[in-house]
Chain A
């Protein structure tokens, strides 16, 4: 069946611009996660959704980052006033309920110039 998909696969933007990254979870998965992976590091947790609500957003680095999941399936990670330090691979994962295995998407590589 279809796995987690993320679009775009690559995004290059100028400093100060706004970007949106999209995640399509596995159909029927209620839990959705966003992680950020900087070069040479492991992924770091950003935010967790259970259904439509953000159950834990403690990993969002500052208020320029925001994520939504309005219908409980697709999620969008939004970054305002991008900075060069935001350059990273943004990974999305979904799981059936929340306490089971996470399935990861291929990631979106964001480059801020």
Chain B
């Protein structure tokens, strides 16, 4: 069965600095997708970025980039130029592409606090 591990329960960063949130995954499947979601205090899960297992280039979406290291089974999220509004919970998640639908498996999350 697949598993997502996020070892950082909390991270602090100063405004305008970059921060890396760690994520490792475990699966024996070759075809999978990795996601990062942001969950502010309002509770909604907001999609940030996606990386497919066969994508050769690291995904980027604005200030978000995904540092995908397949051999190490890691998919760290890098947020550049942090903003106060980035303070939230961040979840790494995985799907298996051969199941016919997106059954997301989430990690336990990392709480990010951005200070002025």
Interface centre among B42, B44, B109 (most CB of A within 10 A): B44
A99 CA / B97 CA spacing, docked (Å):
8
Interface residues of B in 29-48 (CB under 8 A from A): 37, 42-47
A103–B45 Cα distance when bound, in Å, is 8
CB neighbours (8 Å) of B4 from chain A are 42
Chain B, interface SS category: loop
Q: Do A104 and B44 touch (CB < 8 A)?
A: yes
How many chain B residues touch A (Cβ–Cβ < 8 Å)?
Answer: 22
Bound together, the chains give a CA A50 to CA B99 distance in angstroms of 13
Q: How far is the CA of A103 from the CA of B35 in the complex (A)?
A: 13
A13 on the B face (CB < 8 A):
no
The reply to whether the CB of A107 lies closer than 8 angstroms to some CB of chain B is yes
CB 8 Å contact bits of A83-105 with B (1 = contact, 0 = none): 00000010101010011111111
A48 touches B107 (CB 8 A): no
Tell yes or no: A55 within 8 A of B by CB: yes
Interface positions, chain A 10-69, Cβ under 8 Å from B, are 31, 33, 35, 40-45, 48, 50, 55-56
A residues less than 8 Å from B107 (CB atoms): 42
Which 9 pairs of residues, A with B, have the shortest CB-CB distance? Answer: A42-B106, A104-B45, A98-B101, A107-B43, A106-B44, A42-B91, A106-B43, A43-B106, A45-B103
Query: Could you list which residues of chain A lie within 8 angstroms of chain B, going by C-beta atoms?
Result: 31, 33, 35, 40-45, 48, 50, 55-56, 89, 91, 93, 95, 98-107, 109
